[in-house]
Structure 1
Amino acid sequence: MKKYFYETKFFIFMRILFDGLMALTAAAIPALQKKLFDLFTGNVTETHSFLTVIIIYVTCLLGSVLFSYLSMIFTWKTSLNFEQSLKGDFFKSIFNYSYEDFSAKDVGEYISIQGNDITALEQDYLTPLIDIVQVANRIIIYGVFLFLNVDFRISTAILLGSILTIIIPKLTSKQLATKQNAYLNQMGVYVSKIKDFLEGFKVIQSRTRKSINREHEEVLANTKNMRFNYGKYKSLAMSLEYLSLNFVSAIAFIIAAFLLFKHEITVGTCVATFGYINSFIGPIDSIMYDLNSVSSMKQTKEKVLSYLKKIPDDKLIVTKKFNTDIVFDNVTYDYANFSLKGVSCKFEKGKKYALIGHSGSGKSTMINMLMSYMTPASGNIKIDGENINSLDTANIMYCVNQNEHIFCNDFMNNVTVFSSYSESNVHKVTDNLKMKIVDVIKSNSNSQQLSGGEKQVIGIIRMLTANTEICLMDEPFAAIDAKTTEILENTLLNMKEKTIIMVTHKLSDDLNKFDEVLLMDNGKIVQRGKFEDIFDTDEFKKMKFV
């Protein structure tokens, strides 16, 4: 967290400086009130002194307003820069996760941390911490004015009573932190549910709407109850603090009244006492609230920082060229109810491969392991003799999935991934394809509104724009019409420089276009070779007619 304080240090300094100047001008006001009352209750009214007091009083009032405004401006600057920096680093960190690490948590939890936890850190951790410094300055300033303008017995009583009240937050902070963390975790659950419901909007209709509303109401009620439990305990903690502060005010009031009755202090001193009680108690109240807030955010701070600890693995070798082959050497991967069992095979540079088999036979698992979305339980996957776990393959390998993600943006930003890939490559690809569907896709400013087939076309153009030597495809034409599929498939399979590994459910003669077909069943490669060689095998016939 030190990094984010350091990045906003200028704004923090200016905020504290102007707050201190505001406190200085505000602290002078009760002293001027004391001077004014003492002038009018004395035997002689000094006109010159009266005018001087009025001028200084007005100056202090205007000064406190100006310095308060400037302090608030830098408060906004501090908060917004802190939040921007933390949210930026949070996303950078998440984007450096491996797919397995990323998938271990629901997307809704990441959204909740970004939208709730980090904002809570700014509001209930950063701001209170800076407030504590500001309040400490105010206490020192008000304390000096208090002892200079108020009887030392009253000043001592206010000071000692105020110090004792600071103990109260320590008594409630741990339980408050627990309840706040429970609420924020429940918010993560709620956001995940909302995301799930909205993404499943097509399922919501007259028969399902009531049940889905009931599910939503249930999680919403749980979230409300968690927040109420947190709010209820926070209200109790704040009430205890308020009680202790009122007790200090009462003690100071009684002592001032007694000393005034005994004629040991002037009316002006009494007026100043009441002014400083409010001025002094206010910062004490703030520091108690801030201490509670900072303590309550401890678990949230540790949670957010745990996400920021992920950094890129700089030890990965960045591969620029694919030279010879991809080798699976006795590779195994275990699911709960399925295993990829000792797979060994080779994919040679420039050749085109089709992976076929029943759903759940292991085809997509092989693609996912090549993309490092999954890590083999045993065995090795090597590219040009190097273990894939030691390589950054982004420059030589790209995968397009059946449900390729399409951003809520225009065609160009989607296929270049916001200018990650060259626009000139886009023009080369689209000119080569010469399909009317591309013009239709380009005309839509929000590519998420396109049909499933049109989205798959974008995914394929994106892959070709990335211009990698190895192209992995998992059912890339499932939603595309036959004519467009033929154009795209022929274009891809005729690219001699590309090594293509494609998962497909097609069992037609089109498989003859591939150099080799691998037939998978129950986590094993049971046949491989030219399509004409495996067409008459028992394994192929069994798959075709089941």
Structure 2
Amino acid sequence: MKKYFYEIKFFIFMRILCDGIMALSVAALPALQKKLFDLITGKVINTNSFLTIVVIYVICLLGAVIFCYFSMIFSWKAGLNFEQSLKSDFFKSIFSSRYENFSAKDAGEYISIQGNDITALDQDYLTPLIDIIQAANKIIIFGVFLFVNVDWRISTVILLGSILTIMIPKWASKPLATKRNAYLNQMGVYVSKIKDFLEGFKVIQSRTRKSINREHEKALVTTKNMRFEYGKFKCLTMALEHLSLSCVSAIAFIIVSILLLKHEITIGTCLAAFGYINVFIEPINDFMYDLNSVSSLKMTKEKVLSYLKEVPNDELKVKKQFNSDIVFDNVAFEYNNFSLSGVSCRFEKGKKYALIGHNGSGKSTLINMLMSYMTEASGTIKIDGENISSLDTAQIMYCLNQNEHIFSDDFMNNATVFSSYSESDVNKVTDNLKMKIVDVVKSQNNSQQLSGGEKQVLGIIRMLTANTEICLMDEPFSAIDVKTTELLENTLLNIEEKTIIMVTHKLSKNLDKFDEVILMDSGKIVQKGTFEEISKTEEYKKIQMVQA
């Protein structure tokens, strides 16, 4: 967290400076009131002294207002920069994490941390933390003015009583933090639910609407109850703080009254004492409230920082050129009820490969392990003799998924991934793909509104724009019509310099365009060879019968 405080140190310093000047201005007011009343109740009224006190009083009032305004401006600037920096680093950390780590949580939880937890750190951690320094400054300044301008007995009672009240936040901090963390975690669950329901909008109709509303209501009520539990305990601690401070004010009031009745203090001192009781108690109250806020965010702060500590592995060697082959050597992988075992195969540079087999046979798993979305349990995967776990392969390898994500943006930002790839390369690709569907894809302002097949065409344009030597494709034509599929497939397979590994469920004569067909079943490679060789095997005929 030090990094983020350092980035806004200027705004914090200016805020504290402005608060200090404002506190001096406010602390001077009761002292001036005392001098004014002592002057008026005296035997001789000095007109010049009277006017001087009034002018200084007005200047102090104006000074308090002006520096209060600047204090708030610097506070806003510090908070906004703090939140921006945290959110920026949070997303950089998430985007740099391994897919396995990222997919362990629902996207809604990340959204909740970004929208709720980090905002809470700004509003209920950073701001109160600065306010604690401000309150401490006020306590020191008001304390000095109190002892200088008011009877020491009154000052001592106010000071000691205020110090005792500071023990309340310390008692309440741990349970308050636990309750707040539980509420924020539940908020993450609720956001995930909302995201899930909205993404499944097509499923919501007259028969399902009531049940989905009921599920939403359950999540909403649980979230509300957890927030209430947190709020109820927070109200209790605040009430106890107000009670303790009210007791201090009452005791000070009684002592002032007794001393005034005994004529041991003047009316001016009495008035100043009442003024300082109010201005001194206020920062004590702020101090306790802010201390509770900071304490309640302890677990949230640790959770957010745990993400920011996940620094991407910069030690990975950037692979810039594909020279010879990809080799799977006795690779095994297990996940839930699925297992991949004893997979050994070789993909040569420039050749085209088709992976076929039943659903769940392990075809997509091979692709996912090549992309490091999954990590093999045993065995090795090597590119040009180097272990894939030590490589950054983004420069040489691109994976096109069946449901490739399309952003809610225009064609060019989708094709270039927001200028990650060259626009000129996009134009070259689209010029070579002379199809009406490409024109339709290019004309849509919001690419999310494209049909399933059109989105897949956009995904293929994006892959070709990335211009990698290795193209991995997982059912890339599943939503595209037969004619367009044939045109696109021919275009891809005729690019000599590209190594293509394609997962496909379509068993047709088009498979003879591939250099090698790999047939998988139950997590194993059962046959591999040319289509002519594979098509004669019993395993291939079984798959044909199932699809028929």
TM range (shorter): over 0.9
Q: Which residue identity does 1:235 align to in structure 2?
A: C
Q: Which residue of 2 aligns with 1:346?
A: 346
Q: Which residue of 2 aligns with 1:132?
A: 132
Q: Separation in 2 of the partners of 1:300 and 1:367?
A: 37
Are residues 1:427 and 2:432 paired? Answer: no
SS state at 2:405 partner: coil
Q: Which residue of 2 aligns with 1:39?
A: 39
Deviation at 1:92, TM superposition (A): 0.5
Bigger shift: residues 442-451 or 186-195: 442-451
Q: Separation in 1 of the partners of 2:526 and 2:400?
A: 25
Are residues 1:51 and 2:51 paired? Answer: yes
Q: Separation in 2 of the partners of 1:166 and 1:363?
A: 64
Q: Which residue of 1 aligns with 2:522?
A: 522
Alignment of 1:129-278 (within 5 A): 129-278=129-278
Q: Which residue of 1 aligns with 2:369?
A: 369
Q: Which residue of 1 aligns with 2:382?
A: 382
Q: Separation in 1 of the partners of 2:455 and 2:37?
A: 80
Q: Which residue of 2 aligns with 1:99?
A: 99
Residues 310-347 of structure 1, C-alpha deviations (whole Å, 9 max, x = no match) = 11212211000000000000001112111111100000
Deviation at 1:292, TM superposition (A): 1.0
Deviation at 1:44, TM superposition (A): 1.5
Deviation at 1:49, TM superposition (A): 1.0
Q: Separation in 1 of the partners of 2:434 and 2:310?
A: 43
Q: Separation in 1 of the partners of 2:388 and 2:298?
A: 39
Q: State the TM-score, normalized to the length of structure 2.
A: 0.99
Deviation at 1:124, TM superposition (A): 1.3
Deviation at 1:23, TM superposition (A): 0.6
Residues 444-466 of structure 1, C-alpha deviations (whole Å, 9 max, x = no match) = 11111111111111111110000
Are residues 1:115 and 2:124 paired? Answer: no
Residues 393-444 of structure 1, C-alpha deviations (whole Å, 9 max, x = no match) = 0000000001000111111111111111111110110111112222211221
Q: Which residue of 2 aligns with 1:392?
A: 392
Q: Which residue identity does 2:294 align to in structure 1?
A: V
Q: Which residue identity does 1:302 align to in structure 2?
A: E
Q: Separation in 1 of the partners of 2:98 and 2:380?
A: 18
Q: Separation in 2 of the partners of 1:335 and 1:147?
A: 72
Moved over 3 A (4+): none
Percent of residue pairs identical: 79
Q: Which residue of 2 aligns with 1:73?
A: 73
Deviation at 1:163, TM superposition (A): 0.6
Q: Separation in 2 of the partners of 1:19 and 1:433?
A: 65
Q: Which residue identity does 1:50 align to in structure 2?
A: F
Are residues 1:12 and 2:12 paired? Answer: yes
Q: Which residue of 2 aligns with 1:301?
A: 301
Alignment of 1:430-469 (within 5 A): 430-469=430-469
Q: Separation in 1 of the partners of 2:462 and 2:21?
A: 58
Q: Which residue of 2 aligns with 1:487?
A: 487
Residues 76-109 of structure 1, C-alpha deviations (whole Å, 9 max, x = no match) = 0000000000000000111111000001111111
Q: Separation in 2 of the partners of 1:446 and 1:272?
A: 67
Q: Separation in 1 of the partners of 2:491 and 2:78?
A: 54
Q: Separation in 2 of the partners of 1:84 and 1:336?
A: 39
Deviation at 1:36, TM superposition (A): 1.4
Bigger shift: residues 438-447 or 205-214: 438-447
State the superposition RMSD in angstroms.
Answer: 0.7
Deviation at 1:233, TM superposition (A): 0.2
Q: Separation in 2 of the partners of 1:208 and 1:170?
A: 50
Bigger shift: residues 480-489 or 249-258: 480-489
Deviation at 1:50, TM superposition (A): 1.1
Bigger shift: residues 223-232 or 122-131: 122-131
Are residues 1:84 and 2:84 paired? Answer: yes
Q: Which residue identity does 1:408 align to in structure 2?
A: S
Q: Which residue of 2 aligns with 1:418?
A: 418
SS state at 1:128 partner: helix
Deviation at 1:528, TM superposition (A): 0.8
Q: Which residue of 1 aligns with 2:504?
A: 504
Q: Separation in 2 of the partners of 1:513 and 1:144?
A: 90
SS state at 1:272 partner: helix
Deviation at 1:119, TM superposition (A): 0.7
Deviation at 1:65, TM superposition (A): 0.3
SS state at 2:382 partner: strand
Q: Separation in 2 of the partners of 1:79 and 1:279?
A: 26
Bigger shift: residues 69-78 or 53-62: 53-62
Q: Which residue of 2 aligns with 1:543?
A: 543
Q: State the TM-score, normalized to the length of structure 1.
A: 0.99
Deviation at 1:534, TM superposition (A): 1.1
Are residues 1:359 and 2:345 paired? Answer: no
Q: Which residue identity does 1:221 align to in structure 2?
A: V
Q: Separation in 1 of the partners of 2:78 and 2:219?
A: 35
Q: Which residue identity does 2:185 align to in structure 1?
A: N
Question: Matched residue pairs, number?
Answer: 546
Q: Separation in 1 of the partners of 2:485 and 2:30?
A: 83
SS state at 1:207 partner: coil
Deviation at 1:293, TM superposition (A): 1.1
Q: Which residue identity does 1:371 align to in structure 2?
A: M
SS state at 1:168 partner: helix
Deviation at 1:507, TM superposition (A): 0.3
Q: Separation in 1 of the partners of 2:30 and 2:481?
A: 82
SS state at 2:237 partner: helix
Q: Separation in 2 of the partners of 1:205 and 1:251?
A: 66
Deviation at 1:129, TM superposition (A): 1.1
Deviation at 1:24, TM superposition (A): 0.7
SS state at 1:421 partner: coil
Residues 15-70 of structure 1, C-alpha deviations (whole Å, 9 max, x = no match) = 10001111111111111111111121111111111111111111111110000000
Residues 516-536 of structure 1, C-alpha deviations (whole Å, 9 max, x = no match) = 111111111111111111112
Q: Separation in 2 of the partners of 1:199 and 1:479?
A: 19
Q: Separation in 2 of the partners of 1:441 and 1:36?
A: 80
Q: Separation in 2 of the partners of 1:31 and 1:442?
A: 74
Bigger shift: residues 470-479 or 291-300: 291-300
Q: Separation in 2 of the partners of 1:276 and 1:363?
A: 77
Q: Which residue identity does 2:462 align to in structure 1?
A: R
SS state at 2:97 partner: coil
What 5-or-longer segments of structure 2 have no aligned partner? none
Q: Which residue of 2 aligns with 1:26?
A: 26
